[in-house]
Structure 1
Amino acid sequence: MSQTVDPCFEKRLAEAAARLETGLSDALSGTAFLVAGAPERLLAAMRHGALDGGKRLRPFLVEESARLFGVEASRAAPVAQALELVHCYSLVHDDLPAMDDDDLRRGRPTVHRAYDEATAILAGDALLTLAFGLIADGAAPGEADARLTLIRLLSREAGAAGMAGGQALDLAAETATLDEVEIARMQAMKTGALIAFAAEAGAILAGASPADRQALRRFGEIVGLAFQLADDLLDETADAATLGKAAGKDASRGKKTLPALRGIDWTRAELDRLVAEAEGLLEPFGERAATLRETARFVARRSR
């Protein structure tokens, strides 16, 4: 991994995360139309699961893929927020005792530990439902068709053919033997589907050509593979203080990962290969895609 990440990149990522945090906080306030009248404890649990979180990579990809085609961040914001809510719902449910049974998320108690298991289930349900409302709400003139396309696509990528299906395969794999192809398929569904959506979403908002949409989607698929590889590598090599969650749980639960199957050296070489492929896909866009190139490098080289 010889290339380093542009030092300005993390600043840009943090600024986008701050914008997203403000938007999500507004969407989850007691006065927001889509949640007005919600029980206070449920809304608090939703906020616990969605706010003060992580790098916000998926919404950043929505913003940057939109910017590639001249779409302002403000127009992409509802889609970025919606995607992050889907991701947060999945984490709330993923942490439950019936799933990965985690006590920590982002250095804080998981939602079912901070509240209770039933409230965590309902909070996840409500975050997922709210996501589709955000995409549908307040569309600018001429955007209705694009918003409908995004709702339809996100439904697929978050559902049985995407993230939820990948999670089902992941659970089943704890007591099964998987080969490299099967592990890659599971991870493409579990993690890659939402990241692929993020990269394609901006092109959809912009009304980009089918070829450009496909290039951005493939870029997202590759970034998704790199993200999962890096995540699995960190689980093998980092500690809980670095990760902000329990470390080494994949191995202890019999999770099937490519670093466990192929080794750490292979994983690092594969991350380099994926970054090169992602950068190649962006060549037709020239310097306009500089931030997306940095995103691929950042994902592969992250330390937490």
Structure 2
Amino acid sequence: MNHNELETFIGQFRDEIEQRLPRFLESIDCPDTLKKAMVYSIQAGGKRVRPLLTLAAVKAYRDVKEIDYTVACAVEMVHTYSLIHDDLPAMDDDDYRRGKLTNHKVFGEALAILAGDALLTHAFAMISSLPGVDDRTKITLTQELAHAAGPQGMVGGQTADIEGERRDLSLQELEYIHHHKTGDLLGFAVAAGAILAGSSPEDMKHIRAYAKELGLVFQIKDDILDVEGDSLEMGKSTGSDENKGKVTYPRLLTMAGAKEKLMVHADNAKEHLRALSGTPLILEDFVHYMTERTK
């Protein structure tokens, strides 16, 4: 892994993403309180893994353009909506996210729900009105985002996650939850960059397979950090999965088994990248980044 190259990439493009995210909300004609609630969570920090993966997929084929930032920011808005709703009392009931008070703790439950709704729907408006992009590509991106975020994707995975609490799950059931709750939106983030860059159908198969493996790497590492991570560094309390009676990879496979499973999926992800016609060096570096992260 080239730490310097990845750090340079993240440093450069995360700053560009951070600058653009609030700008996409400033021009919306809506009540000021709603806009403040949307901006509050968009500016709450975070790793920005999903938009960075979109740009990394683009970089495997060509230089990044302004339209790529628009799609990357739209992905982050969908992710942020899901976090706002996840933190609500009816869901995970969390008071802090990334070391800051969660949205409903600052703006109240009703406005937090509406802020999440607004971020989700505005993301589709951004993608469906991309300038200089043909209608077929816009429709493909819109349909794939709807699939990744909706009942067959993230929302379905979140439902299975809630229904799986206080119940023994098989490895297959646990993987279903994580493929959909976490993996599908990560998968869209990577696929969207490849679609924007005009990737071939053969490359798209490997890009999607890479993203599926990467989603499991991300979630297994999350499960490991919930046990071994540092609460201050992570910006949220650890041990929450255990407290809620959730089945996790360490609980199902033991910690050693979870770490072994993590590396299997990481190796699978890298194997798919080797089959690409592009130059996916940053995408490969992201595999290492996710296996080694501490927050």
Please state which band the TM-score falls in when normalised by the shorter chain: over 0.9
Which among 216, 223, 226 is matched to residue 235 of structure 1? 226
The answer for the alignment partner of 2:153 in structure 1 is: 162
Structure 1: runs of 5+ lacking an equivalent: none
**1:250-273 CA-partner distances (Å, limit 9, x unpaired):** 000011211211111112222222
Which among 99, 102, 106 is matched to residue 114 of structure 1? 106
How many residue pairs were aligned? 295
In the alignment, structure 1 residue 88 sits paired with structure 2 residue 85:
no
Contact 1:13 1:55 in 2 (8 A): no
Contact 1:139 1:147 in 2 (8 A): no
Distance change (3 Å), C-alpha of 1:285 and 1:159: same
Distance change (3 Å), C-alpha of 1:185 and 1:5: farther
The answer for the alignment partner of 2:124 in structure 1 is: 132
Structure 2: runs of 5+ lacking an equivalent: none
CA distance in 2, matches of 1:66, 1:83: 14
**1:181-208 CA-partner distances (Å, limit 9, x unpaired):** 1101111000000011111112211332
- Give the superposed CA RMSD: 1.5
**How far does residue 138 in structure 1 lie from its aligned partner after superposition?**
3.5
In the alignment, structure 1 residue 15 sits paired with structure 2 residue 16:
no
Which among 194, 197, 211 is matched to residue 206 of structure 1? 197
The answer for the alignment partner of 1:278 in structure 2 is: 269
Contact 1:96 1:112 in 2 (8 A): yes
The answer for the alignment partner of 1:147 in structure 2 is: 138
CA distance in 1, matches of 2:216, 2:126: 27
**How far does residue 114 in structure 1 lie from its aligned partner after superposition?**
1.3
In the alignment, structure 1 residue 64 sits paired with structure 2 residue 63:
no
**How far does residue 137 in structure 1 lie from its aligned partner after superposition?**
2.2
Which among 255, 262, 265 is matched to residue 264 of structure 1? 255
In the alignment, structure 1 residue 28 sits paired with structure 2 residue 20:
no
**How far does residue 239 in structure 1 lie from its aligned partner after superposition?**
2.9
In the alignment, structure 1 residue 48 sits paired with structure 2 residue 40:
yes
CA distance in 2, matches of 1:8, 1:70: 17
AA in 2 matched with 1:109:
L
The answer for the alignment partner of 1:184 in structure 2 is: 175
Distance change (3 Å), C-alpha of 1:5 and 1:164: farther
**1:156-189 CA-partner distances (Å, limit 9, x unpaired):** 1000000000000000001322111110111100
**How far does residue 150 in structure 1 lie from its aligned partner after superposition?**
0.4
**How far does residue 50 in structure 1 lie from its aligned partner after superposition?**
1.1
CA distance in 2, matches of 1:5, 1:300: 14
**How far does residue 274 in structure 1 lie from its aligned partner after superposition?**
1.7
Distance change (3 Å), C-alpha of 1:68 and 1:5: closer
**How far does residue 129 in structure 1 lie from its aligned partner after superposition?**
0.7
The answer for the alignment partner of 2:294 in structure 1 is: 303
**SS of 1:288 mapped into structure 2:** coil
Which stretch of the first structure deviates more once superposed, 246-255 or 63-72? 63-72
**1:94-146 CA-partner distances (Å, limit 9, x unpaired):** 00000000011011000001111111000000000110011122421x53211
Contact 1:143 1:205 in 2 (8 A): no
TM-score, reference length from structure 1: 0.93
Contact 1:67 1:73 in 2 (8 A): no
TM-score, reference length from structure 2: 0.96
Which stretch of the first structure deviates more once superposed, 272-281 or 219-228? 272-281
**SS of 1:208 mapped into structure 2:** coil
Contact 2:59 2:280 in 1 (8 A): no
CA distance in 1, matches of 2:89, 2:183: 24
Contact 2:44 2:100 in 1 (8 A): no
**SS of 2:238 mapped into structure 1:** coil
Which among 99, 103, 111 is matched to residue 95 of structure 2? 103
